[in-house]
Chain A
Amino acid sequence: MHTLRNILILSFVLLALPAAVPAQQPPSVIVHSSISLGGRRINNDTDSSKLTEYRDLRDGAFLPWVSLNVFDSGTGRFFEFTGTNAIFDDQKLVLRGGTLGRWTLRANWTGVPHNFSNKAQTPYERSAPGLLEAPATIPITFKKLATAAADAPGVLASDQLIADYQAAYLRPTTLRTESGVGHIALESAGLRAFRVGIAYDRRKKEGLKAGFGPIGDRPPRTLNIQLTEPVDYRTNDLTLSAEHVGRRFRAQFSYLLSDFANQIDTLLWENVFVTPAAGATFDTWDRSVSAFGRRPLPPDNRYHNVSVSLAVELPADSRLSTTFAYGRLGQDEVLLPYSYNLDVLANPALPRATAKAQVETQQAFVEYVINPARLNLRTWARYYGLDNNTPQSNWQYVTSDTSNLNGTVSYKNKRVNLPYASDRFDTGLDAAYQIGRSTFSAGYEREFIWRNFRDADTAEDRLTVSWRARPVAWANLRARYVFGSRDGDLEPFANRQSYWYTLAEANDADNPAFSFTNHPDMVRYDVADRRRHQGEFTLTLTPRDIVSIAATVRYQTDDFDSGVVPRSPLAETGIGEVTAMTPGDQLGLLEDTRLRYSFDASYMPVERFSVNAFLSMDNGTSFQRGIAFDENFKTNPSAIATVEAGPWTRKSSQWTAGFDDKNWTVGFSSTIGIVPDRVILDAGYTVSFGDVDITYAGYGVTNFDGTPFPPNRQYAFSSPPTVNQDLHAVNVGLQLPLVEHLTLALNYSYERFRLDDWQQSTTQPWVEPVGSEFLLRDTSRDWRWGNRLFNLGSFLAPSYDAHIAYVAFNYRF
């Protein structure tokens, strides 16, 4: 398909260009065209996919640029076409045509490759869309998942069998997707103050991305494997629009219909760790283990949105405008059964056969702006409502295609789906007053968000003050400060509504339906109290036309302190140790700070010479707290007061993590007309440094009693090494005229990328590489089976040094 498309594009270009230049043109017709054709060579020393993450870089001939521009001043007809990388997967094609003042046709096509890895491996064969089958399975003899049954010889024997299997059956696989985004729009302005338009967008995304196939209970009993999840999406959007722009009254209407279709509904993958008996769908270990895993892929969905905007110009340079929008999104996919092994379940029946998921949105927005004398006033009110009409039902919770194949499901997990919904309303007033060369502004905004089935409603006040000045014609200053204060009306037990059994049926008071789900000291940052301070300062200088300098500093800090105090969560239920108290230290994200600054300078003393330089820095720091506790002793925490995996009441089980995330980008570029408008040299250099540091303290570094954990202990964690990512890019280009209309372009680029990320490394003390598996095994305690991740071989692209050179001939007329 790509080859056919590229042939069509090349044919169009080669035929259209000469056809656009007839021997005798009418004097009213203006034609400009250019085409670049060249050859390219790339050297990527590690064949890293990071170099080609979003680019189609190939050796050989390429068409970097083509353009055609035709305008008839006699009739007003115009035609424009541009193509960048026209025949490659990262192509951009733009076409515009029409008659000025009458109608315009726009069409464009963009190819977006996304290359994840050039080194991925898999044992699977894609037998059919959405079906992954292995040529063989691993003949595991140590068929035990239960914790108590772990032993070293059996597990080590299994390790060797798995390593032998990988050596025999792993083979390379692509891991990339290709998106094609097309847009075509026709707009008519036949009546001078009235326009109608119709647009069609099509997005196609195909390929494979990294996914996972867990089968079994939670860790350590999970059998997980990385696999290639198929991507075959189609999105079709149709937009109708109409607009009237009068002297005083304006109206705008649009309707969007968006249809998403996934060509593959289900992923079914073979479990390589088991070998069931002939005809059986599961193998018998110390529990039944399914021969296949199955899960749904993103469901087809449809979205409608209609929007009407009205505006009227009023006296005193004022304007009243309003927008009303309604949206509906829905999907009704047929649901999969609870389990691949359905016939052994005691309760296989689904409460309904299809999803019946539907959400409606409403938006209303009114705004008034007035500018009397030196004053500018703006006031507005905005409402956004999200109604979730998805019916609630009582569902069985089958952990995976394996768990509890004796016909029961875990009583702890009989769940009700919660149709989350929300209303958001905000209103505000801004005022700006000009005094001399300065403008002083102040504003107030109040926002409410009401939520169904969530932890909290929130209300926030925001105050803004700013100052803009132009003390001299060549200097602009701007300073702004924003203060926000948000209060969350917490409802920590909101999630209880997602369970559907009585205490007697549950037979376990630790059940989250009757105790708590999240630790009561946890406050989710998106609904927590928040105090925000934000400051910004910008300076722009243009002392002369030939030089400009701009500098910006922006600082924002959020404090999520929500006044958490020790509390007795069981006092509400009256179950268990009703006086047991939480430590009273807030858990979750506590602080977040962002500091950003940038500096830009450009200098162009003469037309043939220009230089630009920039520096940008982005630094984010944040701090969060957590706590380790055993969820099986919620109602009687005192029973495990001195146990390693202790109670939710124990302060010494808390841990903290501080994050420091920095990115520096520095660059310069220069253009020199060695011979003005003829021989031109371009040069540029950009370097970007990124670091992520995590400072971890508390439980995990040490046990609750202060005893240091060995690094491979099951609860161990410590500050990991810094993540470093550096990218250097040098680019040099030279243009040389050869003959009239023909220019030679020479270009050389060098890129150097370095990545050091502990999360992808097999060299840390807690990681055991076995073939392509990465095992996180607690050998200080016991030998367990299930902490394995059968890896695709390379999760992240490696570092690289790359050279890219091309020679191209550019013909312009």
Chain B
Amino acid sequence: MLTLQCPYCGVDAEETELTAGGEAHLKRETVGASDDDFEGYLFMRENPKGLHFERWRHSYGCGKWFLAARDTNTLEVFGTYPAQSKEPPKDLRDKISAKRPGWSWREFK
């Protein structure tokens, strides 16, 4: 079972307390965006076998959204961080680098 630590309540919440919210760090394309960019925003998603960044909501707990980095293959969780983050925090990226040297995900590496 997947267990993620909610960065707001600090509890190790298990899967049944959480709601999955799809991919993290999507950049919203809006008025003035090209058709290609808008299509990308609407439909194009990462689907890696390995490191992935996701949105989760602690729906049965504090009700807050947060972001998580985990491996879709091994189910290893690297860490969670607040939803207000524009990019994964430095310490989390360092932690991932230690375990998955040379990793990259969208524009992050």
Decide whether A and B are members of one complex. no
Q: Which residues of A contact B (CB under 8 A)?
A: none
Q: Which residues of B contact A (CB under 8 A)?
A: none
